[in-house]
Amino acid sequence: MNKLEVNNLNLFYGENHALKNISLAIPARQVTALIGPSGCGKSTLLRTLNRMNDLVSGVKINGDVMFEGNNIYQDVDVKHLRMRVGMVFQKPNPFPMSIYENVAFGLKAQGIKDKKVLDDTVEESLRSAALWDEVKDRLNTPAFGLSGGQQQRLCIARTIAMKPEVILMDEPTSALDPIATHKIEELMDELRKQFTIVIVTHSMNQAKRISDKTAFFWMGELVEHGETTQIFNQPIDQRTRGYVSGEFG
């Protein structure tokens, strides 16, 4: 079953045609990796899936993005959409508040005040993000005291706390060292059982290691997509072959 479906999507930043007629189905409870050189449109596509592009002025979009059969640009409340399609950013971006408050933030924004519900969700989310044991004794200390990798797992916990169905990840490990990266990848392997994950990555090794499906973008076009093993071992398009073999890009 497909969680998200992108149909004939075109996106313009002013005059710049950034996404060209993209159609892509994202299956539930799998990891889909979006790869391609810088400026190819993969991050832009990711940001159409939870409507973060709404923040950019001068963006024009046509085509459909369907989330469980609803057109997210017409039928749904954007706040509600973002609760169900969460996002983890390239640089860890905890808020300037305590670890606890960071994880509880989304719930509080929904007006949830019940201390028990908040406590339980914070613990559960931090456990799911494999961070609980490291921070359980200092939940009320500032999130900035954590290492980069811990901060990124905190951001994942904060996203999980909303109980989303999809988690979008925009190069989530590009600001982290290899050990922290490894931890995040392990975590993603756990998370795929519960969530649909779409990840933008510059690392082809990372795409190979963690994803089920891979989509290759080139200058705003979706060149090829399919099973990760197929994309890396038997790419059909010349450009895909060149990119995954490291000839360019």
Partner 1 sequence: MTTASKTHSQGMQLAPAKSYDWKEMVFHALFLSCAMVGVLSVATIGWFVFSEGLPAFKEAGVSQMLFGKEWLPPALFGLLPMVVASIISTAGAVIIGVPIALLTAVFLAELAPNWLANIIRPAVELLAGIPSVVYGFFGLVIIVPAIESIFNIPAGNTILAGVIVLAIMILPTVITISETSLRALPSTYKEGALALGASHIYSIFKVLIPAARSGIYTGIALGVARAIGETMAIIMVMGNAPAMPGSILEPARTLTANIAMEMSYATGIHASALYSTGIVLLAFIVLLNGSLLYLNRKRAH
Task: Note the residues at the interface with partner 1 (CB under 8 A).
Answer: 50, 52, 55, 79-83, 86-87, 89, 91, 93-97, 105-106, 108-110, 155, 158-159, 162
Give the C-alpha distances (Å, rounded to integers) separating 117 from 81, 94, 111, 164, 195. Answer: 22, 21, 12, 17, 21
Smallest gap from Cβ 233 to partner 1, in A, equals 35
Nearer to partner 1, 28 or 56 (CB): 56
Nearer to partner 1, 94 or 149 (CB): 94
Smallest gap from Cβ 173 to partner 1, in A, equals 16
Whole-angstrom distance, CA of residue 194 vs CA of residue 119:
21
Smallest gap from Cβ 103 to partner 1, in A, equals 10
Nearer to partner 1, 57 or 205 (CB): 57
Give yes or no for a contact between 123 and 132, defined as CB atoms under 8 angstroms apart: yes
Whole-angstrom distance, CA of residue 201 vs CA of residue 100:
29
Smallest gap from Cβ 80 to partner 1, in A, equals 7
**Helices marked H in 96-211 — which ranges?**
99-109, 115-128, 132-135, 148-160, 178-191, 204-210
Short-list 40, 47, 48, CA closest to 7: 48
Give yes or no for a contact between 171 and 202, defined as CB atoms under 8 angstroms apart: yes
Nearer to partner 1, 42 or 158 (CB): 158
Smallest gap from Cβ 206 to partner 1, in A, equals 22
| CB-CB neighbours of 38 under 10 Å | 8
Residue written as token pair 């359980």: 136
Nearer to partner 1, 28 or 78 (CB): 78
The dihedral formed by the CA atoms of 7, 13, 16 and 17, expressed in degrees to the nearest 10: 0
Give yes or no for a contact between 162 and 125, defined as CB atoms under 8 angstroms apart: no
Beta bridge partners of 19: 11
Smallest gap from Cβ 90 to partner 1, in A, equals 9
Nearer to partner 1, 77 or 133 (CB): 77
Smallest gap from Cβ 167 to partner 1, in A, equals 10
Nearer to partner 1, 158 or 225 (CB): 158
Whole-angstrom distance, CA of residue 142 vs CA of residue 129:
18
